[in-house]
Amino acid sequence: MGKTVAEKIIESHLVKGKIEVGSEIAIKIDHTLTQDATGTMVVLEFIAMKLPQVRTELSVSYVDHNLLQTDFKNADDHRFLRTAAAKFGVVFSRPGNGVSHQVHMERFSVPGKTLLGSDSHTPTNGGMCMLAIGAGGLDVAMAMAGEPFYLNMPRIVGVRLLGKLQPWVSAKDVILELLRRQSVKGGVGKIYEYFGPGVADLSSTDRAVIGNMGAELGATTSIFPSDHRTKEFLKSQGRDSAWTEILADPDAKYYEIIEIDLSTLEPMIACPSSPDNVKKVSEIEGLPVNQVIVGSSANSSFRDLMITAKVMEGRHCHPDISFEINPGSNQALLNVASFGGLTNLITGGARIHQSGCLGCIGMGQAPGTGAVSLRTFPRNFLGRSGSFPDSVYLCSPETAVASAIFGKITDPRKLGDYPAVSNPEKYVVNDENLIYPPESGESVEVIMGPNIKPFPEFAPLGDDLEGVIGLKVNDNITTDHIMPAGSKVLPLRSNIPAISEFVFNNVDQDFPGRAKQAGSVFVVAGENYGQGSSREHAAIAPRFLGVRAKFAKSFARIHKANLINFGILPLRFENPEDYDLLKLGDRLKISGIRKSLEQGTDSLEARELSSGKSIRVRLEATPRELKILLAGGLINLAKN
């Protein structure tokens, strides 16, 4: 039987296990990337392993999230990351150089290699035929130490693309259409592999947009073949020697096939407050808009910025609009300037921000009270913008710029002729903002500021597990609900005691105090608990507050792995209706849990102590994950 592209890469990197759906496998990791919001904790975890240097082919530390230096905290973190990179053999991308996954694609991507990143949008590099997976920081730290990455072998879903995109329709509309069909939990346990004649219509940066937002499907990753378009991009970057052709075999078999005819698509938009709340732009156009942002984590390449600039030629944004541009990289901004696009944006009333994530993670650019914000970002979870509540829509650059001109949601097809924009045959390249480490970092001092606190110590699992239900939430709770982003919270990423005060801040501000008073706490949740970001702080900070188990109908992949890594038991209701039996303040006990897990029992009884009622929960974990939970976390296990 023929192989898919994903199977070929997994097979060539397989360290342990068999390529059988659902079974645990371990794969060798070639590249890692970290960013500053998660990277400080990754470095602290790596330091705890007492290794002199990283053991990957390439590891890169990017500063792209906590860019606002409103006090000493972020600046101290940047210095910490720079000196640690020099110490441990990591390339350092300076603040303002660009978004981690975009810069990595431009300057470091290699078809057929594996990439593990502490950013959930690492699958952007699937557009360059890398097996690029977002993961929790501790998993990335382990990969930097030379350890393989463990995951359950995903189902590989084929997405057959037919036809060609029509004018004013672009890659963003493709992934929004897939989200409309599949939902934010439709991709859990899956890799989306794109194939078919329509793939050739998409440039590598188009493919990157689709790979980026594939994370919103809950997918393990997304991947495209390495073909002539891949070679075209690498050549334009002066890196054509990195190209290898990698195509699916003609008789490759997919778990299922989804077919999208690109020629039938029209401009799409995700409405508040979920990336899968997708409608046609034509269905909701006319809604007044207050803010429009192009760029950041998605749609921030040269093409996306240049199409915006071309449309703005001779035009100005509506007086009611705050029109903002977040370049994905300094390279993209430099090339837009070289082609004359920057002048159009400036004279058109756009505010040009530094290259980075910024508003996507709530680091500035918060909308005003009651404002409608259109963004080309990948996420619009409630409150993620930095304002709560908010009203954020996700759309293509074409829809965004049309709406910025007219001051209301507008179908971009009303703008007339579609400007011709292609990626440059040869990009202007400037790598001066990439700092390469010395051959030996032995003499380098890692400088830690006062906000950087040591990693907390956690106890192993006891004989019994008892705790109070400190919070009960519904379906599709995101990591933004659990551990908010924004300019107030993000600078505390290297200070677990301080950041823990904000756990569930947008859900129940009393939770941290209630948890600390109870000592041992459980959280009850519905479906798809923990979707969204890879941020491991959504596991570390609750564990610091005393959260020992989470009861849910189902868990998102990365968050479940993070819970296990930090000793929190992800317990799934055997009967989903038992969710309704539990309420805030109930005290539950699972007797003999340690012995049960040591014996390999995965079905457990949790008894409510006051009423005597009991429910059955299941711990779905591999033997390796059980060892982690028994030890109280992966760091404890590694130390032992």
| 379 is a catalytic site residue | yes
| pLDDT tens profile 274-328 | 999 999 999 999 999 999 999 999 999 999 999 999 999 999 999 999 999 999 9
pLDDT of 491 above 90: no
What is the pLDDT confidence band of residue 158, given thresholds at 50, 70 and 90? very high
The answer, yes or no, to whether residue 611 has pLDDT greater than 80, is yes
The stretch 441-448 carries a mean pLDDT of 95
Please give the CATH superfamily to which domain 5-264 belongs: Aconitase, domain 3 (3.30.499.10)
**638 pLDDT exceeds 90?**
no
**Average pLDDT for the chain:** 95
| Statement: residue 110 has pLDDT above 90 | yes
What are the φ and ψ backbone dihedral angles of 86, each rounded to 5 degrees? Answer: -65, -35
Q: pLDDT grade, residue 537 (50/70/90)? A: very high
Residue 272: pLDDT over 80: yes
How many C-beta neighbours within 10 Å does residue 446 have? Answer: 18
Residue 493 clears pLDDT 90, i.e. is over it: no
- Among 13, 31, 65, 155, the one annotated catalytic: 65
Answer yes or no: is pLDDT of 441 > 80: yes
Q: What's residue 70's pLDDT?
A: 86
Query: Is pLDDT of 639 > 80?
Result: no
pLDDT digits (tens, 9 = 90+) for 53-93: 999 999 999 999 988 888 899 999 999 999 999 999 999 99
Tokens of 567: 């000793």
**Residues ≥6 apart with Cβ < 8 Å to 580:** none
Cα separation, 235 vs 242, whole angstroms: 9
Among residues 30, 64, 77, 578, the one annotated as catalytic is 64
Quickly count helices (H) and strands (E) in the chain: 21, 27
Per-residue pLDDT at 532: 85
533 tagged catalytic: yes
> DSSP strand E in 574-637: where?
587-590, 603-608, 614-619
Which residue in the list 119, 139, 304, 411 is annotated as catalytic? 119
For residues 444-463, average pLDDT: 92
CA angle at 196 for the pair 192 and 200, rounded to the nearest 5°: 100
Compute the Cα dihedral for 304, 96, 224, 128 and give only its sign: positive
pLDDT at 534: 81
- CATH code of the region 465-639: 3.20.19.10
Strands 268-270 and 190-195: unpaired
Residue 119 annotated to the active site: yes
Q: At what angle do helices 511-518 and 537-545 cross, to 10 degrees?
A: 50
Per-domain residue ranges for the chain? 5-264, 279-413, 465-639
Q: pLDDT grade, residue 488 (50/70/90)?
A: confident
Distance between the two ends of the chain, CA-based, in angstroms?
43
CATH of the domain spanning 279-413, picked from 1.10.3720.10, 3.70.10.10, 3.30.70.100, 3.30.499.10: 3.30.499.10
Q: Which residue's entry shows tokens 């106890």?
A: 459
Percentage above 90 pLDDT, the chain: 90
Residue 10 confidence (pLDDT): 98
Q: What is the pLDDT of residue 635?
A: 87
Mean pLDDT of 142-168: 97
User: pLDDT band for position 455 (50/70/90)?
Assistant: confident
> Omega before 419 cis (within 30°)?
no
Same fold, 5-264 and 279-413: yes
Mean pLDDT confidence for 616-624: 95
Kindly report, residue by residue over 555-589, the tens digit of the pLDDT: 999 999 999 999 999 999 999 999 999 999 999 99
What is the predicted pLDDT for the residue at 333? 97
The pLDDT of residue 547: 97
Contact 209, 126 (CB under 8 A): no
| 65 classed as catalytic | yes
Chain segment 8-28, per-residue pLDDT in tens: 999 999 999 999 999 999 999
d(CA 329, CA 300): 8
580 catalytic residue (yes or no)? no
What pLDDT does residue 357 have?
93
Of the residues 78, 155, 379, 537, which is catalytic? 379
What mean pLDDT comes out for the span 530-549?
Answer: 93
Cα separation, 364 vs 71, whole angstroms: 14
104-108, 176-180, 403-407, 417-421: least confident range:
417-421
Q: What is the rounded distance in angstroms from the CA atom of residue 450 to the CA atom of residue 495?
A: 9
Confidence tier at 504 by pLDDT (50, 70, 90): very high
User: Who has greater pLDDT, 640 or 88?
Assistant: 88
Give me the catalytic one of 535, 537, 543, 557. Answer: 535
What pLDDT does 316 receive?
98
